[in-house]
Structure 1
Amino acid sequence: MSRLPWERTPDHVRADVEELLGARVAEAVTQPGGYSPGAAARLRLDDGRRAFVKSVGAEPNPDSPTLHRAEARVAAALPPSAPVPRLLGSFDRDGWVTLVFEDVDGAPPREPWDTAELGRVLDALGDLAAAMTPAPIEAPTAAERFGAAFRGWRRLAAAGDPDGLDPWAREHLADLARLETSWETAAAGGTLAHADVRADNILLAPGRVVIVDWPWACLSAPWFDLLTMLPSVRLQGGPPPAEVFAAHPLADATDEGAVTAVLAATAGYFVHSARQPPPPGLPTLRAFQRAQGEIALAWLRDRLE
């Protein structure tokens, strides 16, 4: 995906950011990764300070400003102890939503996953769940946040005989649709989950792991972030998800049926979403979902057989 260069954002976006920061932008370096078609840049100001800015309008993807607005609300409310960048300010003007954060001196994990870096991230997920339990802010439940999206198997079953579906999934489609119906109860909990942890939403900084991009934050079981992250870890060269999940402290004393139900809903979401047309401005998203769906489905099949 091609990010919008900082220089091509509207004049009022750049003016608002410079007024907030109290200095002119001397350099803006676009940051790769992620699935927003807007600008995302590390800024160096003419007084030597740094900041990170992300800004998006309704073109080419009309949903992106809504996600930025949600992230602004969450980032403004998270406590200083949370492992997140500090929000310096945000703007919502003329259809453009802009967020300005402290610049984190870090980088995303390497691909394929490095064992030591993955270990740091997995430890950080445990620390994150502990820090976010009980949830420090009000947020929708996972069921409220994803109830409409996590109906993939039911939608595929309603379609009758979907072409191109994995043969095992086709054979067990009715069972998968029934299993999926219990995910909302299975995922319930009082932990504030990020709900979209992937390598491109992680920064490894000296002495800490920082989790960025929080528009999907919701209340869930403490292991929700771990489970939903692991298909992307495997896709990007990490170990099998079942192996990682079983070895993680967050999996201790989990209800196996609850884990299977949430995994079923996650797999169904990826499989169904990957079959839809690409969202405007996000041409690579469906391929990423398709690959994660294959991994999640294989994990689910192993749990059910």
Structure 2
Amino acid sequence: MNSEIATTLDTRSGRIFVKGMNTDHPRVWTQAREATINPYVAPLAPRLLWRINDGTWDLLGFEHLDGRPADYHPHSDDLPLVAEAIITLSGVRAPVDPELKHIEQRLADYIDNPDDADLLRGETLLHTDWHPDNVLIVDHAARVVDWAWPTHGAAWIDAACWVVWLISAGHSPADAEQWAAYRRP
């Protein structure tokens, strides 16, 4: 989790999920990034209700999602729901934001030939961290949380990032790649 505090508040107007960091935390800037991209990732992500920065804490208050982490095991009913979320996200254009990194910057240490970076470039808004805890199943739909590291890149990258988690959950590499290539029926 990308926060020092993560809790649910029960308020008169309903439940709110709050995450935050002390303003002297070296990664407090991720709070602003997550707030900035929130309108672009609706309705996949919980709606940002408010942001408070009092000089000591930077807090984000989100719509509370009553769901459970996605199950990535073979034959799980969650797999098509997650695949649908990835397909939907692949159509979201990244906002123009100088603070938003490009995937070729994030992966620069893994690129031997600079020309290979062209394969990663794109203007799609990427999540890149498809850990099952970052995908909640709510009302028969996959909702994506923890947007601290949104990135510009090619539309296929989130599906490729999901492959690693599918293999970790027991899929063969070939089966995981089939799910990554999933298309709507």
Which TM class, normalised by the smaller chain length?
0.7 to 0.9
Asked if 2 retains the 8 angstrom alpha-carbon contact of 1:139 and 1:192, the reply is: no
Alpha-carbon distance, 1:114 to partner: 5.9
- Name the structure 2 match of 1:78: 40
Change (3 A) 1:185 1:199: same
- For 1:95 and 1:145, the matched residues in 2 are separated by 30
Asked if 2 retains the 8 angstrom alpha-carbon contact of 1:55 and 1:99, the reply is: yes
Give the gaps of 5 or more residues in structure 1.
1-33, 155-176, 252-305
Change (3 A) 1:64 1:114: farther
Q: 2:171 aligns with which of 220, 224, 239?
A: 239
- For 2:171 and 2:98, the matched residues in 1 are separated by 32
Change (3 A) 1:63 1:96: same
Task: Number of aligned residue pairs: give it.
Answer: 183
- For 2:56 and 2:127, the matched residues in 1 are separated by 25
Alpha-carbon distance, 1:190 to partner: 2.9
Give the gaps of 5 or more residues in structure 2.
none
Alpha-carbon distance, 1:66 to partner: 1.5
The structure having more radius of gyration, on CA atoms, is 1
- Name the structure 1 match of 2:135: 202
TM-score when scaled to structure 1?
Answer: 0.52
Provide the identity percentage. 23
Asked if 1 retains the 8 angstrom alpha-carbon contact of 2:23 and 2:57, the reply is: yes
Alpha-carbon distance, 1:123 to partner: 2.4
Match of 2:102, SS state, is helix
TM-score when scaled to structure 2?
Answer: 0.81
Higher helix share: 1
- For 1:54 and 1:140, the matched residues in 2 are separated by 24
Superposition CA RMSD, Å: 2.9
Alpha-carbon distance, 1:49 to partner: 1.3
- For 1:123 and 1:42, the matched residues in 2 are separated by 27
Match of 1:53, SS state, is strand
- For 1:189 and 1:57, the matched residues in 2 are separated by 33
Higher relative contact order structure (alpha carbons within 8 Å, sequence separation ≥ 6): 2
- For 1:86 and 1:110, the matched residues in 2 are separated by 23
Equivalent AA in structure 2 for residue 55 of structure 1 = G
Higher strand share: 2
